[in-house]
A = this chain, B = another copy of it.
Amino acid sequence: MMFSKACEYGIRATLYIAMNSLGDKRVSLRNIAGKIDSPEAFTAKILQQLVHHDIIHSVKGATGGFEIEKHKLPDITLAKIISAIDGDHLFHGCVMGLSICADAHPCPAHLSYEKIRGELKTMLDNTSIYDLSHGLETGLTFLKQ
């Protein structure tokens, strides 16, 4: 896959939390892992990363859980989630792994690869959790099988 497992779980989890935050509901780790079909303890680690990156918010104690402030939703893009979890090496570095590869000293595939990567980055920058939750609400798309 293009992204790590951690990233896939992170995107699904953020989206599930977002859906619930739109309805002013806070959700627990157990609830999230159950609904997005991910390993619970591993998902906990990923949620912690997202909390540290200030993408989601957590509340401890009974009735605690995870939530996202509604006004943040349009600002949380796929690119931000991916950078928080996988780092931004997907958006940098040579296709062939050369340490020196730039417009002025390109590897053989540099030009065509940069074009695609730019388009990928644009797409991930322009796709927000708010956008994605819209399709889910209207039943056009799905989070589970």
Tell me the A residues contacting B by CB distance below 8 Å.
Answer: 1-3, 5, 8-9, 11-12, 15, 78, 89-90, 93, 95-101, 105-110, 112-113, 115-117, 119-120, 123, 127, 132-133, 135-136, 140-145
Q: A136 touching B113 by the CB < 8 A rule?
A: no
Residues of B within 8 A of A142 (CB): 98, 100-101, 105-108
CA–CA, A109 to B120, complex, Å?
Answer: 12
A112 touches B107 (CB 8 A): no
Contacts of A115 in B (CB 8 A): 123
Cα distance, A31 to B145, chains bound together (Å): 50
Q: Which of A78, A109, A127 lies at the interface centre, i.e. has the most chain B CB atoms within 10 A of its CB?
A: A109
In contact, B132 and A9 (Cβ under 8 angstroms): no
Separation of A9 and B143 alpha carbons in the complex (Å): 36
Chain B neighbourhood of A143, CB < 8 A: 96, 98, 107-108
Cβ–Cβ contact B127 & A15, under 8 A: no
Q: Is the CB of B141 within 8 A of A9?
A: no
Distance (whole angstroms) from the CB of A68 to the closest CB of chain B: 15
Once the chains bind, are B119 and A3 in contact (CB under 8 Å)? no
Other contacts beyond A101-B142, A109-B127: 14, CB < 8 A:
A1-B89, A1-B93, A2-B2, A2-B117, A12-B96, A12-B98, A78-B109, A98-B144, A99-B145, A100-B145, A105-B142, A110-B141, A115-B123, A120-B120
